[in-house]
Chain A
Amino acid sequence: MRGGRAMTRERQAAERRPATGPSALWEVLEAVSDPEIPGLSIRDLGVLRDVEAANGTVTVTITPTYSGCPAMTFIEMSIRDVLLRAGAEAVEVKTVLAPSWTTDWLTEAGRAKLRDLGIAPPEGRAAGKAALFGADPEVPCPRCGSKNTRQLSRFGSTACKALYHCDGCLEPFDYFKCI
Protein backbone atom coordinates (compact mmCIF):
# COMPACT_ATOMS: atom_id res chain seq x y z
CA MET A 1 0.00 0.00 0.00
CA ARG A 2 1.30 3.43 -0.87
CA GLY A 3 1.61 6.06 1.81
CA GLY A 4 -0.50 9.22 1.81
CA ARG A 5 2.01 11.98 2.35
CA ALA A 6 4.37 11.01 -0.43
CA MET A 7 1.55 10.59 -2.88
CA THR A 8 1.05 13.33 -5.46
CA ARG A 9 -2.37 14.76 -6.11
CA GLU A 10 -2.38 13.34 -9.61
CA ARG A 11 -1.64 9.92 -8.34
CA GLN A 12 -4.38 10.16 -5.71
CA ALA A 13 -6.82 11.18 -8.42
CA ALA A 14 -5.68 8.32 -10.61
CA GLU A 15 -6.11 5.90 -7.74
CA ARG A 16 -9.68 7.09 -7.19
CA ARG A 17 -10.61 6.74 -10.83
CA PRO A 18 -13.06 3.86 -11.14
CA ALA A 19 -11.38 0.84 -12.64
CA THR A 20 -14.10 -0.91 -14.52
CA GLY A 21 -12.72 -2.96 -17.39
CA PRO A 22 -11.84 -6.56 -16.49
CA SER A 23 -8.17 -6.21 -17.40
CA ALA A 24 -7.93 -3.00 -15.38
CA LEU A 25 -9.46 -4.79 -12.38
CA TRP A 26 -7.00 -7.69 -12.67
CA GLU A 27 -4.27 -5.07 -12.83
CA VAL A 28 -5.54 -3.34 -9.67
CA LEU A 29 -5.63 -6.67 -7.85
CA GLU A 30 -1.96 -7.22 -8.61
CA ALA A 31 -1.44 -5.17 -5.44
CA VAL A 32 -2.99 -7.92 -3.29
CA SER A 33 -0.44 -10.43 -2.08
CA ASP A 34 -0.42 -13.40 0.26
CA PRO A 35 0.84 -12.02 3.59
CA GLU A 36 2.83 -15.21 4.14
CA ILE A 37 4.59 -14.94 0.79
CA PRO A 38 4.90 -11.20 0.26
CA GLY A 39 6.01 -10.40 -3.24
CA LEU A 40 3.65 -12.85 -4.88
CA SER A 41 0.25 -11.51 -5.91
CA ILE A 42 -2.87 -13.61 -5.48
CA ARG A 43 -2.95 -13.72 -9.27
CA ASP A 44 0.57 -15.22 -9.38
CA LEU A 45 -0.55 -17.82 -6.85
CA GLY A 46 -3.67 -18.78 -8.75
CA VAL A 47 -5.79 -17.82 -5.73
CA LEU A 48 -7.57 -15.15 -7.79
CA ARG A 49 -10.01 -17.01 -10.03
CA ASP A 50 -12.31 -14.38 -11.50
CA VAL A 51 -13.19 -10.70 -11.44
CA GLU A 52 -16.44 -9.23 -12.72
CA ALA A 53 -18.00 -5.79 -12.59
CA ALA A 54 -21.75 -5.39 -12.93
CA ASN A 55 -24.28 -2.83 -11.65
CA GLY A 56 -21.69 -0.97 -9.63
CA THR A 57 -20.48 -4.07 -7.79
CA VAL A 58 -17.13 -5.73 -8.38
CA THR A 59 -17.33 -9.44 -7.68
CA VAL A 60 -14.04 -11.15 -6.99
CA THR A 61 -13.79 -14.94 -6.83
CA ILE A 62 -10.96 -16.50 -4.87
CA THR A 63 -10.05 -20.01 -3.76
CA PRO A 64 -7.96 -21.03 -0.73
CA THR A 65 -4.64 -22.80 -1.20
CA TYR A 66 -5.25 -25.04 1.84
CA SER A 67 -8.50 -25.58 3.79
CA GLY A 68 -6.98 -23.99 6.87
CA CYS A 69 -5.07 -21.20 5.14
CA PRO A 70 -5.11 -18.45 7.80
CA ALA A 71 -4.38 -15.77 5.20
CA MET A 72 -7.79 -15.89 3.51
CA THR A 73 -9.46 -13.32 5.78
CA PHE A 74 -6.55 -10.94 5.29
CA ILE A 75 -6.60 -11.47 1.53
CA GLU A 76 -10.32 -10.75 1.44
CA MET A 77 -9.80 -7.52 3.40
CA SER A 78 -6.98 -6.48 1.09
CA ILE A 79 -9.13 -7.09 -1.99
CA ARG A 80 -11.88 -4.85 -0.61
CA ASP A 81 -9.39 -2.21 0.41
CA VAL A 82 -7.57 -2.09 -2.92
CA LEU A 83 -10.73 -2.04 -5.02
CA LEU A 84 -12.51 0.59 -2.92
CA ARG A 85 -9.43 2.80 -3.15
CA ALA A 86 -9.46 2.28 -6.90
CA GLY A 87 -12.98 3.67 -7.03
CA ALA A 88 -15.21 0.62 -6.88
CA GLU A 89 -18.55 1.40 -5.24
CA ALA A 90 -19.18 -2.03 -3.81
CA VAL A 91 -17.10 -5.16 -3.59
CA GLU A 92 -18.24 -8.72 -3.13
CA VAL A 93 -15.71 -11.46 -2.46
CA LYS A 94 -16.78 -15.02 -3.17
CA THR A 95 -14.79 -18.04 -2.02
CA VAL A 96 -15.08 -21.19 -4.12
CA LEU A 97 -13.63 -24.62 -3.38
CA ALA A 98 -14.11 -26.40 -6.69
CA PRO A 99 -12.07 -27.00 -8.67
CA SER A 100 -9.65 -27.22 -5.78
CA TRP A 101 -6.50 -25.14 -5.91
CA THR A 102 -3.40 -26.73 -7.36
CA THR A 103 0.19 -25.57 -7.63
CA ASP A 104 -0.25 -26.07 -11.40
CA TRP A 105 -2.01 -22.68 -11.30
CA LEU A 106 1.10 -20.80 -10.21
CA THR A 107 1.94 -18.49 -13.07
CA GLU A 108 5.38 -18.46 -14.69
CA ALA A 109 5.86 -14.99 -13.21
CA GLY A 110 4.92 -16.44 -9.83
CA ARG A 111 7.47 -19.25 -10.14
CA ALA A 112 10.19 -16.76 -11.03
CA LYS A 113 9.25 -14.54 -8.07
CA LEU A 114 9.36 -17.54 -5.72
CA ARG A 115 12.90 -18.34 -6.88
CA ASP A 116 13.89 -14.70 -6.32
CA LEU A 117 12.54 -14.96 -2.76
CA GLY A 118 14.69 -18.02 -2.11
CA ILE A 119 11.72 -20.41 -2.26
CA ALA A 120 11.98 -23.36 -4.64
CA PRO A 121 8.87 -23.55 -6.85
CA PRO A 122 6.96 -26.84 -7.13
CA GLU A 123 8.67 -29.50 -9.23
CA GLY A 124 6.57 -31.34 -11.80
CA ARG A 125 2.82 -31.25 -12.13
CA ALA A 126 0.43 -32.02 -9.28
CA ALA A 127 -1.62 -34.05 -11.73
CA GLY A 128 1.26 -36.49 -12.12
CA LYS A 129 2.16 -36.67 -8.43
CA ALA A 130 4.04 -39.75 -7.30
CA ALA A 131 1.99 -42.32 -5.38
CA LEU A 132 2.08 -42.71 -1.61
CA PHE A 133 5.58 -43.35 -0.34
CA GLY A 134 6.87 -42.51 -3.81
CA ALA A 135 10.18 -40.78 -4.17
CA ASP A 136 10.35 -37.11 -3.29
CA PRO A 137 11.05 -34.87 -6.27
CA GLU A 138 14.54 -33.61 -6.97
CA VAL A 139 14.46 -29.96 -5.90
CA PRO A 140 17.22 -27.64 -7.11
CA CYS A 141 18.45 -25.09 -4.56
CA PRO A 142 16.92 -21.67 -5.35
CA ARG A 143 20.14 -19.97 -4.24
CA CYS A 144 22.94 -21.88 -5.95
CA GLY A 145 21.07 -24.19 -8.32
CA SER A 146 22.68 -27.33 -6.88
CA LYS A 147 20.61 -30.50 -7.08
CA ASN A 148 22.47 -31.86 -4.07
CA THR A 149 19.55 -31.12 -1.73
CA ARG A 150 17.55 -33.09 0.81
CA GLN A 151 14.24 -32.77 2.56
CA LEU A 152 14.40 -31.92 6.26
CA SER A 153 10.66 -31.90 6.85
CA ARG A 154 7.63 -32.26 4.63
CA PHE A 155 5.94 -29.54 6.66
CA GLY A 156 7.51 -26.10 6.72
CA SER A 157 6.91 -22.55 7.88
CA THR A 158 3.47 -22.46 6.26
CA ALA A 159 1.01 -25.13 5.12
CA CYS A 160 2.12 -24.77 1.51
CA LYS A 161 5.85 -25.29 2.07
CA ALA A 162 8.32 -28.04 2.97
CA LEU A 163 11.75 -27.49 4.49
CA TYR A 164 14.87 -28.45 2.52
CA HIS A 165 18.60 -28.19 2.95
CA CYS A 166 21.16 -27.63 0.21
CA ASP A 167 24.33 -29.70 0.65
CA GLY A 168 25.96 -27.59 -2.06
CA CYS A 169 25.84 -24.14 -0.46
CA LEU A 170 24.81 -25.47 3.00
CA GLU A 171 21.80 -23.13 3.19
CA PRO A 172 18.32 -24.26 4.25
CA PHE A 173 15.45 -23.24 1.98
CA ASP A 174 11.68 -23.53 1.62
CA TYR A 175 10.13 -25.64 -1.11
CA PHE A 176 6.64 -24.83 -2.34
CA LYS A 177 4.90 -28.22 -2.12
CA CYS A 178 3.23 -29.66 -5.17
CA ILE A 179 -0.47 -30.31 -4.53
Chain B
Amino acid sequence: MNDDLDPRTEYLLRLGDNALILGHRLSEWCGHGPALEEDIALSNIALDLIGQATLWLGRAGVSEGAGRDAEDLAYKRDVLDWRNCLLVEQPNGDFAVTIVRQFLFDCHHHALLEGLAGSRDAEVAAIAAKALKEVTYHRRHSGEWLIRLGDGTGESHARAQAALDLLWGYSHELLEADAVDEEMAARGIGIEPSGLKPAWDAMVTPVLAEATLRRPDDAWSVRGGRQGIHTEHLGYLLAEMQYLPRAYPDARW
Protein backbone atom coordinates (compact mmCIF):
# COMPACT_ATOMS: atom_id res chain seq x y z
CA MET B 1 0.00 0.00 0.00
CA ASN B 2 0.96 3.63 -0.38
CA ASP B 3 -0.13 4.58 3.14
CA ASP B 4 3.17 6.19 4.00
CA LEU B 5 3.44 8.42 0.93
CA ASP B 6 3.58 12.14 1.49
CA PRO B 7 0.64 14.14 0.12
CA ARG B 8 2.51 15.65 -2.82
CA THR B 9 3.63 12.24 -4.08
CA GLU B 10 0.13 10.92 -3.59
CA TYR B 11 -1.32 13.86 -5.52
CA LEU B 12 1.11 13.42 -8.43
CA LEU B 13 0.32 9.69 -8.52
CA ARG B 14 -3.40 10.40 -8.82
CA LEU B 15 -2.82 12.75 -11.75
CA GLY B 16 -0.52 10.27 -13.46
CA ASP B 17 -2.70 7.23 -12.78
CA ASN B 18 -5.83 8.91 -14.20
CA ALA B 19 -3.98 9.80 -17.39
CA LEU B 20 -2.30 6.42 -17.78
CA ILE B 21 -5.35 4.24 -17.15
CA LEU B 22 -7.59 6.28 -19.47
CA GLY B 23 -4.80 6.40 -22.06
CA HIS B 24 -4.48 2.62 -21.89
CA ARG B 25 -8.24 2.14 -22.19
CA LEU B 26 -8.30 4.33 -25.31
CA SER B 27 -5.33 2.49 -26.78
CA GLU B 28 -7.49 -0.66 -26.71
CA TRP B 29 -9.47 0.96 -29.55
CA CYS B 30 -6.41 1.07 -31.79
CA GLY B 31 -7.28 -0.99 -34.86
CA HIS B 32 -10.94 -1.31 -33.75
CA GLY B 33 -12.26 2.25 -34.18
CA PRO B 34 -15.66 2.67 -35.86
CA ALA B 35 -13.99 4.60 -38.71
CA LEU B 36 -10.39 5.14 -39.68
CA GLU B 37 -10.43 8.81 -38.62
CA GLU B 38 -11.90 7.91 -35.25
CA ASP B 39 -9.40 5.10 -34.74
CA ILE B 40 -6.63 7.65 -35.29
CA ALA B 41 -8.32 10.24 -33.07
CA LEU B 42 -8.69 7.84 -30.11
CA SER B 43 -5.09 6.68 -30.53
CA ASN B 44 -3.90 10.30 -30.63
CA ILE B 45 -5.78 11.11 -27.44
CA ALA B 46 -4.35 7.95 -25.86
CA LEU B 47 -0.87 9.11 -26.82
CA ASP B 48 -1.40 12.54 -25.27
CA LEU B 49 -2.62 10.97 -22.03
CA ILE B 50 0.18 8.42 -21.83
CA GLY B 51 2.66 11.25 -22.45
CA GLN B 52 1.12 13.27 -19.65
CA ALA B 53 1.20 10.21 -17.39
CA THR B 54 4.93 9.81 -18.06
CA LEU B 55 5.49 13.39 -16.91
CA TRP B 56 3.32 13.13 -13.79
CA LEU B 57 4.63 9.71 -12.74
CA GLY B 58 8.22 10.79 -13.35
CA ARG B 59 7.70 13.65 -10.89
CA ALA B 60 5.88 11.34 -8.47
CA GLY B 61 8.89 9.02 -8.46
CA VAL B 62 11.28 11.89 -7.73
CA SER B 63 8.95 13.23 -5.07
CA GLU B 64 8.76 9.83 -3.40
CA GLY B 65 12.56 9.63 -3.32
CA ALA B 66 12.72 5.82 -3.36
CA GLY B 67 14.42 5.57 -6.75
CA ARG B 68 11.31 4.60 -8.71
CA ASP B 69 10.87 6.12 -12.16
CA ALA B 70 7.73 6.46 -14.29
CA GLU B 71 8.18 2.95 -15.73
CA ASP B 72 8.53 1.36 -12.31
CA LEU B 73 5.36 3.09 -11.17
CA ALA B 74 3.47 2.09 -14.31
CA TYR B 75 4.55 -1.52 -14.50
CA LYS B 76 5.41 -2.67 -11.00
CA ARG B 77 2.48 -1.59 -8.86
CA ASP B 78 -0.40 -3.87 -7.97
CA VAL B 79 -4.03 -2.90 -8.08
CA LEU B 80 -4.31 -1.65 -4.47
CA ASP B 81 -1.52 0.86 -5.09
CA TRP B 82 -3.26 2.58 -7.99
CA ARG B 83 -4.79 5.97 -7.32
CA ASN B 84 -6.90 6.65 -10.43
CA CYS B 85 -10.59 7.47 -10.17
CA LEU B 86 -13.06 4.67 -10.91
CA LEU B 87 -14.44 6.34 -14.04
CA VAL B 88 -11.29 5.95 -16.13
CA GLU B 89 -10.90 2.21 -15.48
CA GLN B 90 -14.42 1.36 -16.70
CA PRO B 91 -14.35 -0.83 -19.83
CA ASN B 92 -14.73 0.74 -23.27
CA GLY B 93 -18.15 -0.82 -23.88
CA ASP B 94 -19.68 0.42 -27.11
CA PHE B 95 -18.56 3.67 -28.72
CA ALA B 96 -21.17 5.64 -26.75
CA VAL B 97 -19.73 4.39 -23.44
CA THR B 98 -16.22 5.37 -24.54
CA ILE B 99 -17.40 8.85 -25.57
CA VAL B 100 -19.44 9.48 -22.42
CA ARG B 101 -16.57 8.31 -20.20
CA GLN B 102 -14.23 10.58 -22.14
CA PHE B 103 -16.54 13.58 -22.01
CA LEU B 104 -17.18 13.35 -18.25
CA PHE B 105 -13.46 13.00 -17.63
CA ASP B 106 -12.40 15.68 -20.14
CA CYS B 107 -14.66 18.29 -18.53
CA HIS B 108 -13.13 17.55 -15.14
CA HIS B 109 -9.61 17.31 -16.57
CA HIS B 110 -9.89 20.64 -18.36
CA ALA B 111 -11.15 22.51 -15.29
CA LEU B 112 -8.52 20.86 -13.09
CA LEU B 113 -5.60 21.64 -15.42
CA GLU B 114 -6.73 25.24 -15.80
CA GLY B 115 -6.43 25.55 -12.05
CA LEU B 116 -3.16 23.62 -11.79
CA ALA B 117 -1.55 25.79 -14.48
CA GLY B 118 -1.51 28.47 -11.78
CA SER B 119 -0.01 26.14 -9.14
CA ARG B 120 2.66 27.49 -6.82
CA ASP B 121 4.62 24.33 -7.65
CA ALA B 122 6.53 25.19 -10.85
CA GLU B 123 6.71 21.55 -12.02
CA VAL B 124 2.99 21.01 -11.58
CA ALA B 125 2.22 24.31 -13.32
CA ALA B 126 4.44 23.46 -16.31
CA ILE B 127 2.94 20.00 -16.91
CA ALA B 128 -0.59 21.33 -16.44
CA ALA B 129 -0.12 24.23 -18.87
CA LYS B 130 1.21 21.85 -21.49
CA ALA B 131 -1.49 19.21 -20.96
CA LEU B 132 -4.25 21.83 -20.98
CA LYS B 133 -3.61 22.59 -24.65
CA GLU B 134 -4.01 18.91 -25.50
CA VAL B 135 -7.08 18.41 -23.32
CA THR B 136 -8.79 21.39 -24.98
CA TYR B 137 -8.80 19.28 -28.15
CA HIS B 138 -9.94 16.16 -26.28
CA ARG B 139 -12.91 17.90 -24.70
CA ARG B 140 -13.98 19.40 -27.97
CA HIS B 141 -13.79 16.01 -29.64
CA SER B 142 -15.78 14.11 -27.00
CA GLY B 143 -18.33 16.92 -26.63
CA GLU B 144 -19.01 17.08 -30.36
CA TRP B 145 -19.36 13.31 -30.53
CA LEU B 146 -21.75 13.25 -27.60
CA ILE B 147 -23.97 15.82 -29.33
CA ARG B 148 -23.85 13.84 -32.54
CA LEU B 149 -24.76 10.57 -30.80
CA GLY B 150 -27.42 12.03 -28.50
CA ASP B 151 -29.06 14.14 -31.16
CA GLY B 152 -28.57 11.48 -33.82
CA THR B 153 -30.67 8.43 -34.65
CA GLY B 154 -33.02 6.68 -32.23
CA GLU B 155 -30.40 3.97 -31.79
CA SER B 156 -27.49 6.33 -31.11
CA HIS B 157 -29.62 8.40 -28.72
CA ALA B 158 -30.67 5.32 -26.75
CA ARG B 159 -27.08 4.11 -26.50
CA ALA B 160 -25.76 7.51 -25.46
CA GLN B 161 -28.43 7.82 -22.76
CA ALA B 162 -27.71 4.29 -21.52
CA ALA B 163 -23.99 5.09 -21.37
CA LEU B 164 -24.67 8.29 -19.45
CA ASP B 165 -26.92 6.44 -16.98
CA LEU B 166 -24.25 3.76 -16.59
CA LEU B 167 -21.34 6.10 -15.90
CA TRP B 168 -22.90 9.11 -14.17
CA GLY B 169 -22.46 7.62 -10.70
CA TYR B 170 -18.69 7.44 -11.24
CA SER B 171 -18.42 11.17 -11.97
CA HIS B 172 -19.10 12.35 -8.41
CA GLU B 173 -15.73 11.13 -7.21
CA LEU B 174 -14.03 13.59 -9.56
CA LEU B 175 -15.51 16.54 -7.70
CA GLU B 176 -14.99 15.46 -4.10
CA ALA B 177 -12.07 16.45 -1.88
CA ASP B 178 -10.25 14.29 0.64
CA ALA B 179 -7.43 15.12 3.05
CA VAL B 180 -4.76 14.97 0.32
CA ASP B 181 -6.66 17.41 -1.91
CA GLU B 182 -7.27 19.74 1.00
CA GLU B 183 -3.63 19.81 2.01
CA MET B 184 -2.43 20.33 -1.57
CA ALA B 185 -4.94 23.15 -2.04
CA ALA B 186 -3.90 24.75 1.24
CA ARG B 187 -0.25 24.68 0.12
CA GLY B 188 -1.14 26.26 -3.21
CA ILE B 189 0.04 23.18 -5.12
CA GLY B 190 -3.29 21.55 -5.93
CA ILE B 191 -6.91 22.41 -6.48
CA GLU B 192 -9.86 21.63 -4.23
CA PRO B 193 -11.99 19.39 -6.50
CA SER B 194 -15.34 20.59 -5.15
CA GLY B 195 -14.35 24.07 -6.37
CA LEU B 196 -14.37 22.70 -9.91
CA LYS B 197 -18.08 21.86 -9.77
CA PRO B 198 -19.37 25.15 -11.28
CA ALA B 199 -16.89 24.93 -14.18
CA TRP B 200 -17.75 21.26 -14.70
CA ASP B 201 -21.49 21.98 -14.71
CA ALA B 202 -21.00 24.87 -17.09
CA MET B 203 -19.35 22.49 -19.56
CA VAL B 204 -21.55 19.42 -19.06
CA THR B 205 -25.02 20.98 -18.89
CA PRO B 206 -25.14 22.76 -22.27
CA VAL B 207 -23.70 19.74 -24.10
CA LEU B 208 -26.26 17.37 -22.56
CA ALA B 209 -29.01 19.83 -23.51
CA GLU B 210 -27.82 20.08 -27.09
CA ALA B 211 -27.44 16.30 -27.23
CA THR B 212 -31.06 15.99 -26.00
CA LEU B 213 -29.83 13.74 -23.21
CA ARG B 214 -31.41 13.56 -19.77
CA ARG B 215 -29.09 14.36 -16.88
CA PRO B 216 -29.28 11.29 -14.61
CA ASP B 217 -30.25 11.81 -11.00
CA ASP B 218 -27.59 11.60 -8.34
CA ALA B 219 -29.21 8.78 -6.36
CA TRP B 220 -26.44 6.27 -7.02
CA SER B 221 -22.75 7.05 -6.88
CA VAL B 222 -19.59 5.18 -6.03
CA ARG B 223 -16.07 6.22 -5.04
CA GLY B 224 -12.80 4.83 -3.72
CA GLY B 225 -10.27 4.78 -6.56
CA ARG B 226 -8.06 7.43 -5.02
CA GLN B 227 -7.86 5.32 -1.86
CA GLY B 228 -6.92 2.22 -3.85
CA ILE B 229 -10.36 0.59 -3.70
CA HIS B 230 -11.12 -0.24 -7.33
CA THR B 231 -13.75 -1.93 -9.43
CA GLU B 232 -12.95 -5.42 -10.68
CA HIS B 233 -12.00 -4.03 -14.11
CA LEU B 234 -8.69 -2.49 -13.11
CA GLY B 235 -7.00 -5.80 -12.31
CA TYR B 236 -7.68 -7.14 -15.79
CA LEU B 237 -6.39 -3.94 -17.37
CA LEU B 238 -3.16 -4.11 -15.34
CA ALA B 239 -2.70 -7.79 -16.16
CA GLU B 240 -2.57 -6.88 -19.83
CA MET B 241 -0.67 -3.60 -19.52
CA GLN B 242 1.98 -4.99 -17.18
CA TYR B 243 2.37 -8.45 -18.69
CA LEU B 244 5.50 -7.91 -20.72
CA PRO B 245 7.67 -6.07 -18.18
CA ARG B 246 6.60 -8.53 -15.51
CA ALA B 247 7.21 -11.63 -17.60
CA TYR B 248 10.54 -10.32 -18.89
CA PRO B 249 11.85 -7.97 -16.21
CA ASP B 250 14.12 -5.24 -17.53
CA ALA B 251 13.69 -6.45 -21.12
CA ARG B 252 15.18 -4.08 -23.70
CA TRP B 253 14.53 -3.80 -27.40
Contact = CB atoms under 8 A, between A and B. Distances in A.
The A interface, classified by DSSP as helix, strand, loop or mixed, is loop
B136 A101 contact: no
Interface stretch (A82-90, A116-124, A154-162): A154-162
B214 interface: no
B48 A152 contact: no
A98 B51 contact: no
A130 to B, nearest CB: 10
Interface stretch (B122-130, B155-163, B233-241): B122-130
Contact of B41 (A64, A69, A97, A153): A153
A68 B47 contact: yes
A146 interface: no
A133 B140 contact: yes
Instruction: Categorize the interface residue count of chain A.
Output: 20 to 34
A133 B144 contact: yes
Interface string B76-105: 000000000000000000000000000000
Given A98-B129, A153-B40, A155-B40, A68 B48 contact: yes
Interface in B135-156: 136-137, 139-141, 143-144
Interface residues of B, number: 31
A155 B140 contact: no
B21 to A, nearest CB: 15
B44 to A, nearest CB: 4
Nearest to B140: A132
Majority secondary structure, B binding face: helix
A93 interface: no
B17 to A, nearest CB: 15
Contacts of B50: 68
B54 interface: yes
A67 interface: yes
Contact of A133 (B40, B49, B143): B143
A66 interface: yes
Interface string A115-159: 000000000001000001100000000000000000011111101
A145 to B, nearest CB: 25
A155 B133 contact: no
A57 interface: no
Contacts of A132: 136, 139-140, 143, 203
Nearest to A179: B133
Interface of A: 64, 66-70, 96-102, 126, 132-133, 152-157, 159, 163, 177, 179
